[in-house]
Structure formats: C-alpha cells, structure tokens
Chain A
Amino acid sequence: MLRLLQIEFIKLWNNRASKVLIISYFVLLTSIALIAAIKFDIGPVEFHLADQGIFNFPYIWHFNTFVTALFKLFLAIVIVSMMSNEYSNKTIKQNLIDGLSKKEFITSKVLTVISFALISTIFVFVVSMILGLAYSDYNEMSIIFSDLEFLPAFFIKLVGFFSFCLFLGILVKRSAFALGFLILWTIFEQVVFGLLGWKVMSWEAAKAVKRFFPLESMSNLIKEPFTRLSAVQNIGQQIGEDMKFDYHVYWYEFFIVIIWTAIFIYLSYALLKKRDL
C-alpha cells in the first residue's frame, strides 16, 4: 500500500503544476482563519465577523467544513489531470508493462484520493480547533466535541467528489474535457430536477429524487450553514419568516454518497480493464 502511494507521490510531486495547485489548496484551507480578520468599522456601525458567532463551538464545525469544501475544485483539477495525463503521456501503458496490475493502478489512484481527503479533514479539524479556541464563546469540552459528524461528512464528501473526478479522468482521457464534463454534469443534474418537478411529478417528490443524484447527494451532506447564524435567525424572526431548518447529517446521506463512491471506483476499474491500450 505504501509502495502504491509512493508511486503516486513521485508522479504528482515532480509535476510543477500539480505541486503548485496542491500547495495553494492547503494554503487556502488555512486562510479560512483570515475570515476572523474581517472587520467593518464605519462610524457607529462596528462589525466584526468573528464576533457574530461563526467561530462558536459547535457551529464552527459546520461552518468551516462547508466553506472549505468550496476549495475542493483545486484538488479536482489535480486529480482529473493526474488521471488523464497518464493517458495523454501513454505512461499508463508503460506502468502496466513495467508490472503494475490494473487493480494496483486504480488502487494507487484511490489511495491518493483518500489521502487528499484525509489530510484535508485533519487540516480543517486543526484550523477550526485553533480558531474556535481563540474566538468561541463556549469552551466546555462537551460543547467543543459536539456536532463532530460534520468532519466525517466532509471526508466522505471529498472522497465521493474526487472519485467522480477520477472516473471522469479515465472516461474522457483529456483533462480539459473531463473538467468540462464535470460542469456539464452539475448543470445536467439541475435540469433533470427541473424537468422532473415541472412535468413528471410534484416538486416535493422531485426534491426527494434529487437527493440521490451523485453531485447533489455530496453537497447535501453538509447543508448551507448561514441560516443557522443567530444574526440571520434574528432577522428572519423580525420579518416573520420561519427559519427552522434541518441541518443535520443523516446516516442515509452518508450511505448514498458511499454507494456512489463505490460505483465510480468500480466503473473506473471496469473501464480500465475493458479497454485496450
């Protein structure tokens, strides 16, 4: 296993573009701490974002995992190109001839994806912990360690998304087209949802179906955290809107994403096995 990871590491780390993207990604993850510095000071209106409760435990787990997940596109580029470059450089052929089995080849890519997701999760945990300890209004142990399910949700979400990228890389074989396909697919899911709700079934039912779409199920794992903020809640109450919102992570949401991940990895393997190089 370590050997497979080392192989992938040599390939990635010697590629300048990948290296820059990976480093930028982790710098961006850390830079979420900069939100703390957002401060408006316009005469009587004094606004310090860190004081608005976004760094309060346990809310910070939700907020940080949601925001950092937006940066995953950086790694998506790295993953799509690490896969499709093997095709355009024909190095996949050479790898197989040199004695890497097709299974090992896919395993090495999947292990890399899992490592990326794992390191990101640890990063987010550490950054959030430090920010929380610095700014949170509540510092009791029991509060700090509540709502931690957002971290595994973040991990599964990344693994699922990156597996999708991996599959696209193998399917399309060209990194630019694969990324285009990714965007197309995002739109496609929304269009299908729209058509279902408009013509086929009720909007309620369409929403239920939409939860099973690959990208939608991944983004559904961590719902948007903004309406949870007390400031936003207050405004909502003032204008009479009920902002009761279910933000929890449910086991079946995990389940759907894990199933998609398995499907994408299996399809990648099946595709590789079937193709002549």
Chain B
Amino acid sequence: METILTVSHLTKKFGYLTAVNDLSFTIEKGNVYGILGPNGSGKSTTLGIILNVVNRTSGEFSWFDGSTTTHDALKKVGAIIERPNFYPYMNAIQNLRLVCKIKDVPETKIQEKLELVGLWDRRNSKFKTYSLGMKQRMAIASALLNDPEILILDEPTNGLDPQGIHQIREIIKTIANQGTTILLASHLLDEVEKVCSHVIILRKGENLYSGPVDSMLASHGFFELRSTDLDQLQTLLEKSASFGKIENFNGTLTAYLKEEMDAESLNKMLFEKGITLSHLVKRKESLEEQFLTLTKNQ
C-alpha cells in the first residue's frame, strides 16, 4: 500500500486549550477516510496543520513518504477547508485561472472540472453572485484542477439545503469511484457512513479509533425479533449462552450477540423449540450507535 500521509504525535495548543493531543494516523492510497468527531474535537485544526495554515506545537507529519516538502506536496493535494474562499469580484474562470497559476498546472482542465460540478453555464458570473451550494461546488472544482492524489474535504455539506447536500454527495461518490483518495471531515455520521471505508474518530483532540468502518466495535451485531409469544421467546434467549443483553421495546425484542451466529441458525433453533417468528432481522450497529458507544466509553 502506498502511504499518502503519515501523522505522528501531532499536538496543537491554543494557549491553555489543547485542540489536538498526540494524534497519530496514516492515510493509504485509494481509500475513502472519514474524520469523525463532535464540534470542537480538533478536526479542522488537524486538517489546518497538515495543510500548512496552522502551526503545530509539536509532532510530525509527512506527505508521500516524506519524499517532498509540504509546500510541493500541497500541489498534489486538493483541499477545501470550511467555507469556500475565492475572490468575490472575479468570475469562475478568473478564479480558477489563478488557482492554476498557484498550483503550476495548465489551464486546460478548467472546463472539464466546471462541467463535472455543473457550473460551466455560470462560468462568467462573479463569485459573489453564487449561492452557497454553488460556491461549495466551485471549491470542489478548484480542488480537482490538478487531478489530486488526495482530496481533503472539511464539512463539505455544512449549511447546504437537501438538494445541495445530495449534489455534493453525488460528486464525492463520482470522485471516489475514479480511485481518488478522499479524506472527509464531518460530524454528520450518515454522511461518513455513506461514502467512507475507513474512519478516524476524534474526541477532544485525541484519537479514539482509526481503521476500517466495519471493525470499529468488536461486536457481532444484534437481532430484532417479533413473535406472538414474546415472553417465552425472551426467557428462551436469556437462557442461551450466545446472547448478552436483551431489550424489549414496543413489542420488538432486541437481542445482542456475544458470539457469531447467523439468522438462519437462530430461526431454525427457535422453530425447533416451538416458536415461530413474525419478524427477524440481523443488524450491525449503525455508525451513529457505534460512534456514541465509543465516545461514551472513554
């Protein structure tokens, strides 16, 4: 696996406040990463540090195995931080030309990228006339101008209406499908769940978890069960060694697994004991539930 970014023991203090505390993680090529964390957990600060706009207090980070300087590495990175920042008095073409000059890439890609985000028709309008959704899409176009190795997005759907959110997500999915590595910071869990394969979870500047989304919790999932004879079902399950906690909520039993078991064998076992089910679903905890469990435990 090719490493794109390595962060080790990164710390940032704003006076007494420690925004990022001894943070370490690596970003591998080809994955879609989500940085998760409540507001003020240090997501934006971390991104600010690796993008060279915030000075670190201590720790190290290196782009592309440390083979290039941060300044050169950033030319191979596309990034959007918080609000889209462009020159309000210039139109899309002029703004993107400026970005091309800064990134030292030819201006040939401008049309392609503006078409990708659906702004080609508005290319001659000044940036200040754009709606927030258009500004955000323009920022994505700008970040893609150099066909970056990695695209960094910080809260890309913040403040957008449902259509805007949908549009941005579609664009992100398109880009991810082209094999671009993506690092997406968000506090919207379903957003991360929908597009990310790996997560880094931060709380108060500390790394709670980093790794694939699937193995976040050492859990085997749970069953949702309904039957006409609910009480008998509950006693039966409580006796079984495979199950831990069992909850009864509005006529539905939720039984948490202590060991691996598939739905088929549970169904078979219950039927043999004379219980017929009217509802049987095996589920894993959603990212939200996992996230809350993780952040609560610490």
**Residues of A near any B CB (own CB < 8 A):** 3, 6-7, 10-11, 14-16, 89-91, 93-102, 104, 273-274, 276-277
Contact = CB atoms under 8 A, between A and B. Distances in A.
Contact of A99 (B71, B90, B97): B71
Contacts, number: 76
Question: What is the interface of chain A mostly: helix, strand, loop, or mixed?
Answer: helix
B54 interface: yes
A10 B98 CA distance: 7
Nearest to B55: A276
A3 B104 CA distance: 8
A107 B99 CA distance: 17
Contact of A15 (B71, B81, B89, B99): B89
A174 B109 CA distance: 35
Interface stretch (B45-53, B115-123, B277-285): B45-53
A94 B54 contact: no
A97 B70 CA distance: 10
B103 interface: yes
B296 interface: no
A277 to B, nearest CB: 4
B140 to A, nearest CB: 13
Contact of A90 (B51, B71, B85, B102): B85
Contacts of A274: 55
Contact of B89 (A14, A95, A276): A14
A145 to B, nearest CB: 40
Contact of A276 (B48, B85, B97): B48
B152 to A, nearest CB: 9
Given A89-B88, A96-B53, A7 B83 contact: no
Given A91-B86, A274-B55, 6 more contacts: A3-B104, A7-B101, A15-B89, A94-B81, A99-B104, A276-B54
B94 interface: yes
Given A7-B98, A11-B98, A277-B53, A99 B103 contact: yes
A97 B79 contact: yes
Interface string B38-75: 00000000001001111100000000000000011011
B271 interface: no
B89 A16 contact: yes
Contacts of B88: 89
A16 B85 CA distance: 19
Given A7-B102, A276-B53, A91 B85 contact: yes
B252 to A, nearest CB: 49
A97 B142 CA distance: 11
Contacts of B53: 93, 96-97, 276-277
A124 B87 CA distance: 33
Contacts of A97: 51-53, 74, 79, 81
B102 A100 contact: yes
A94 B85 contact: yes
A89 B87 contact: yes
B87 A14 contact: yes
